[in-house]
Structure 1
Amino acid sequence: MRLGILLLTVFILICDAVAQQPGTFIKKQFVLGGDTLPYRLLYPLDYNSDKKYPLVLFLHGAGSWGSDNEKPLKSLPAIFLDSANRRKYPCFILVPQCTKEEPWVRFPDFPKSVATPDTPTTSTKLTLKLIAALKKDFPIRQNKIYITGLSLGGEGTFDFLSRAPRLFAAAIPICGIADTARAKTYQKVRLWAFHGDEDKVNDVKYTRMIIASLKKAGGKPKYTEYKGVKHNSWINAYAEPTLLDWLFRK
């Protein structure tokens, strides 16, 4: 028994030591039943377990799906790794990885319809279960959990909101598609969406549609559309000078 406690203590100390290294993501897997979700977790800068911190969930695009637990970090915006930003906005950063077979969201009848299934995909279900587990194991502020994603991750951001609207304090979906019929479920969540008006992958009309639906449902979403910008509008979005101030505002 004493040996087990000692080994556990050593493990915790090692994890905390790794967490203190700037930009170091812990590489882990979340297993539920027969399903596995690869993910990375970055501790707040100068982490103190006696304090509570926000959690930022980042959803990657289709170019990073798989099971290697490596690709998603390549698409993580530099804004979240900047040392000045990490010091000003200390938080946990969660980067899960979905698979091609189980992406963040599905649109079975697209482009005829943007309707989504009643049940989430396995990757989305596992991520929501993972967040619930992290909230128990780490000092995460319940009212400061944020979500952002690009392309497929932007679509996932909208879908996550529809599955768990009370979980997220704010959201930043970029160049995504959304089920407009579900807008009323998360119209109270603070949201700032982005899209380029020359996007040839996900037409800008889809973000225009969900923004209109949110407003019709009584929401007050913020929307920025970039003239002359194609699918990579996340470059512009994550460079917005007031983005993090907006995101971390209670």
Structure 2
Amino acid sequence: MLQKLYFLLLCFVLQGCAAQSKYKLIDAEQETVIKENYSYYLYYPEGYEENPEEKYPLLLFLHGGGESGDSLVYVKRNGPPKLIQRGKKFPFLILAPQNPQKKMWWNTRSVMQLLDTIVDNNRVDKKRIYLTGLSRGGGAAWEMAVQYPEKFAAMAVVCGMTPLPYASWIDKKMPMWVFHGEEDESIPISESETMVAKLKSMNYDIRFTKYPGVGHDSWIQAYDNEELYEWFMKQERQ
């Protein structure tokens, strides 16, 4: 309503002063502040407390739509949090926030604010911040790679929708690994195929793993792949 009022007032002033060849421009500025409260898991690797001078890599994990809500228990269903529950040990910190909105996309700006807060308050190697996400979280990972091209040392995306028109905005120095099930009916594998082809045509460093006969839950095989975490640990921003 406020914006409409400014528009009408501006039109009136312009019309009323046209005969005198004068006009008055009214500047209108409105600020909208969006706040998002995130619950999250923060995993510390073995030795973190015993080595107060050492800095560690950090992996940001963004879950899929099924894990959204108001209970962190959901976040343990898939990906690295599930593996941690099983007893797996990782060589880096893992930040796993929960999207509180069950039917809305990730607010990637708020996620970045959370990430920056965690990095500033822990011993994180800023040259070794990694990004991964599955399904809806995979789409958010692509979005963050576009919006924050100099933030991450490497990214792995599992069955996520892609921002194809903005592929060139992603930093060429950041290696990527994409996973997708060939029988995915929720987010077709064509999403990943076209994005990977586009990035390869521009000489990006990208790997693509397809899982024959696998549907949307390709994250099971992707995150069970020990090579993925070894690959992450080899990456560092120059």
* Superposition TM-score tier, normalisation by shorter sequence: 0.7 to 0.9
Unaligned runs of 5+ in 1: 1-31, 105-122
The reply to whether residue 158 of structure 1 matches residue 142 of structure 2 is: yes
Q: Where does residue 41 of structure 1 map in the other structure?
A: 42
Shift of 1:33: 6.6
Distance 1:239 1:40, change over 3 A: closer
The reply to whether residue 92 of structure 1 matches residue 77 of structure 2 is: no
2:212 pairs with one of 212, 227, 230: 227
Shift of 1:79: 4.3
2:122 pairs with one of 112, 120, 138: 138
Unaligned runs of 5+ in 2: 1-32
2:162 pairs with one of 170, 175, 178: 178
3-state DSSP class of the match of 1:125? Answer: helix
Shift of 1:132: 1.2
Shift of 1:85: 3.9
Q: Distance in 2 between matches of 1:144 and 1:223?
A: 22
How large is the Cα RMSD of the aligned pairs? 1.9
Tell me the TM-score normalised to structure 1 length. Answer: 0.73
Contact 1:187–1:220 (CA under 8 A) maintained in structure 2: no
Q: Distance in 1 between matches of 2:135 and 2:84?
A: 18
Q: Where does residue 247 of structure 1 map in the other structure?
A: 232
Q: Where does residue 205 of structure 1 map in the other structure?
A: 190
Identical pairs, percent: 31
Q: Distance in 2 between matches of 1:140 and 1:82?
A: 25
Contact 1:183–1:217 (CA under 8 A) maintained in structure 2: no
The structure with more radius of gyration: 2
Distance 1:226 1:134, change over 3 A: same
Which deviations, in whole Å up to 9, do the C-alpha atoms of 1:163-202 show, x marking residues without a partner?
1111111111001111101111115211000001111111
Contact 1:187–1:217 (CA under 8 A) maintained in structure 2: no
The reply to whether residue 51 of structure 1 matches residue 54 of structure 2 is: yes
Q: Distance in 2 between matches of 1:237 and 1:200?
A: 18
Contact 2:130–2:232 (CA under 8 A) maintained in structure 1: yes
Contact 1:147–1:170 (CA under 8 A) maintained in structure 2: yes
Tell me the TM-score normalised to structure 2 length. Answer: 0.77
Q: Where does residue 118 of structure 1 map in the other structure?
A: none
Q: Distance in 1 between matches of 2:60 and 2:156?
A: 10
Distance 1:103 1:84, change over 3 A: closer
Contact 2:78–2:220 (CA under 8 A) maintained in structure 1: no
Residues 105-120 of structure 1 mapped to structure 2, 5 A cutoff: none
Distance 1:39 1:80, change over 3 A: same
